[in-house]
Amino acid sequence: MKKKIIWGLVIVVVLGVVNIWYYVFQYSKTHHRDVANEVAMLVTSTQLVKDFQSNEKVANAKYLNKAIEVKGELLQEEKDQSGNITLTLKSGDPFSNIFCTLKPGLPLPVKGSIVVVKGVCTGFLSDVVLNNAIVVKPVE
């Protein structure tokens, strides 16, 4: 009787470990939102930062986990610790900007140009953060 219980627990633990491994290393890498196909609201970088600074709770209800297009001036382009390209859009406030992590393999705009970036808003730290972003169009 004890052997059946022990074997049952071993099987449950092994299945649990396999499921966790699959989710972390397989499923999460291939199942992301594709913002290119989502309808997004258009907002300027200045207005987006002002909304979060004036009332973060209301801005979270309006923007959080939604696809948004942000129009603003490209301040800088860098790589993060994972090797992903990040763009920072100027907002008019020297302490708070729009921080966008781009999908890999996308063409990059020129620094100082006005661009429209479409991504999923994940919140406000000192910057407003957009993930899985794409450059919709450089504005000239």
Same domain, 41 and 27: no
Same domain, 107 and 58: yes
For residue 140, pLDDT over 60 is answered with no
Reported as a single tens digit per residue, the pLDDT across 92-132 is: 888 899 999 888 776 677 777 888 999 999 999 889 999 88
Same domain, 130 and 63: yes
For residue 139, pLDDT over 60 is answered with no
Same domain, 41 and 109: yes
Same domain, 45 and 100: yes
Task: Please report, as a single letter, which amino acid is at residue 105.
Answer: G
Range of the domain at 108: 35-139
Joined tokens for residue 42:
């258009």
Question: How many structural domains comprise the chain?
Answer: 2
**Cβ–Cβ < 8 Å for 72, 44:** yes
Per-residue pLDDT at 98: 94
Count of other CB atoms within 10 angstroms of residue 91: 25
**Cβ–Cβ < 8 Å for 131, 98:** no
